[in-house]
Structure 1
């Protein structure tokens, strides 16, 4: 069943606006203007940008891999970004955050390309073979990063990159997220090409599309989004996995039509998880990565159960 996206747009935007207002008001300190400008507003903007872009990166990753059960955090992309940050911190500790982002983007791009190269060497990969390969690759990269961090006393830094939290987001420490916001807009312009590429490489070539260029652009978007979010807030699991599947079930598989909704729902879900993390044990705060991990896992299991039930029918 498909719904009229125009009819649902206004309620969705109003819901996101209400959640953003709640995010601005929730906190231990009083809602003074200085607190708002320095902390609350940057935090809310960071949640909106990162939630939307992580969800879109998950959609692009699924189109590139032609598999609904992958996202940057399950194919080694986020682990590769964290490894890049670790290496820069180890060898160039005084490097500015911009250079750290570049290094994380390069390692994330290499990790994602390695995953795509691996699955394309597997003849007739099954539905669950692709995510399993990604999980194994990510585990190997994560193990290498953990080994290096353990030997050089950087486990705490590695842990902060591997578990997303907005607690440290302040004015002057979130502005890099605007870069990935721009990338999402550019991705929307190329949405039709991604839709065709998702049908298969040969199909895209026959349709007159430069498949390699579109794939390279998609890889770059996924890598940069993963690198920037890991650098600024840390990894947020399951967001890029469940949101595209939920939107696809309602809006269909047309990327141009679904991409704005993926961004909107991703921002909403990330906002809900952050608010829950700040209120469940108030005045203490749970990392948004922990809350999203629990909620995302439950949603993912529901998606699998529904898919299996439909297959049996």
Structure 2
């Protein structure tokens, strides 16, 4: 227990360093030392309050919540190789936003978010229905079903976007990007912070659910209620994050698996590490996105695709080596 506290404290310190680095990174000149001393000029204060701080908070909230959503989805499906962006959940949210944009172009952000959450929930339910229909739920078959579902829904989104000439709009959702985040455009992400608290309170129930329906029922777990809560958490996180920042690939896959390898599978123990790890991972990707081709900027989703893919391959090779 004491070792976990020390490790989590060190992880939080590392994320705080990245948080500070992110605040200081950008095209506009900004001195954090001047801000702390109170000697910053009006332009620096405005840049910090309207752009840098909201963006960095959005990165932390989105990263932590999507990593936790990936872990919860893995518990629901009982497969370590699934996450919202590879199972059609994020694409379903994008489809919902696109439909609202087509039908009601003047719809508010809250309306788009609500439809995105419902669409993400529908995508999750569809995935679970397909998995239950499988005669054999192989470790590899389940992720393949998710990838196929992602491809089908993604193709539908692309077709609709092409028909209504909304390719540029869809690109903003399909590739994670925090460049447009300013004050007033990220606050919805505080909703996912609440889902993170709920997930931690239900951590023991999700852990028991992952053991199997039979054992969970024998232990007195209310399967329907716990599963519904998990589905709601995943849908809310996927819907809100997609509306605000777009898709964050591999995040919910890489971080939970790496944490599981280091800390174990007990959800209450590893969930804080997953949240901190998710925030740190996206902070690193966002800092790289702003510095690699500065003063231009790469979409953070592109950087995460490269980093996440590389980390996951290393994870698979390491895990295979341990088993051998």
**TM-score band w.r.t. shorter chain:** over 0.9
In 1, distance between residues paired with 2:2 and 2:100? 47
In 2, distance between residues paired with 1:244 and 1:68? 8
CA RMSD, aligned part only? 1.1
Identify the residue that residue 69 of structure 2 maps to in structure 1: 57
Cα contact 1:81–1:227 (8 A) shared by 2? yes
Partner SS state of residue 120, structure 1: helix
Identify the residue that residue 145 of structure 1 maps to in structure 2: 157
Identify the residue that residue 26 of structure 2 maps to in structure 1: 27
Pick from 289, 292, 298: which aligns with 1:277? 289
C-alpha distance after superposition, 1:131-178 (max 9, x if no partner): 000000111011111111100001111111000010000000000000
Identify the residue that residue 13 of structure 2 maps to in structure 1: 14
In 2, distance between residues paired with 1:212 and 1:256? 20
In 1, distance between residues paired with 2:281 and 2:75? 21
Cα contact 1:3–1:250 (8 A) shared by 2? no
In 2, distance between residues paired with 1:9 and 1:230? 28
Cα contact 1:165–1:287 (8 A) shared by 2? yes
Identify the residue that residue 41 of structure 1 maps to in structure 2: 53
**1:9 positional shift:** 2.1
Count of aligned pairs: 311
What stretches of structure 2 of length at least 5 have no aligned partner? 31-43
Is it true that 1:167 corresponds to 2:175 in the alignment? Answer: no
Cα contact 1:3–1:251 (8 A) shared by 2? no
Identify the residue that residue 310 of structure 1 maps to in structure 2: 322
**1:3 positional shift:** 9.2
Identify the residue that residue 133 of structure 1 maps to in structure 2: 145
Identify the residue that residue 271 of structure 2 maps to in structure 1: 259
Pick from 106, 111, 120: which aligns with 1:94? 106
- TM-score norm. by structure 1 comes to 0.97
In 1, distance between residues paired with 2:313 and 2:132? 27
C-alpha distance after superposition, 1:219-277 (max 9, x if no partner): 11101101111100000100000000011011111000100110001000110110011
Is it true that 1:296 corresponds to 2:308 in the alignment? Answer: yes
Identify the residue that residue 231 of structure 1 maps to in structure 2: 243
Partner SS state of residue 94, structure 2: helix
**1:296 positional shift:** 0.3
Residues 61-80 of structure 1: pairs in structure 2 closer than 5 A: 61-80=73-92
**1:6 positional shift:** 1.3
C-alpha distance after superposition, 1:157-213 (max 9, x if no partner): 111100001000000000000001111011100000000001111211111011111
What stretches of structure 1 of length at least 5 have no aligned partner? none
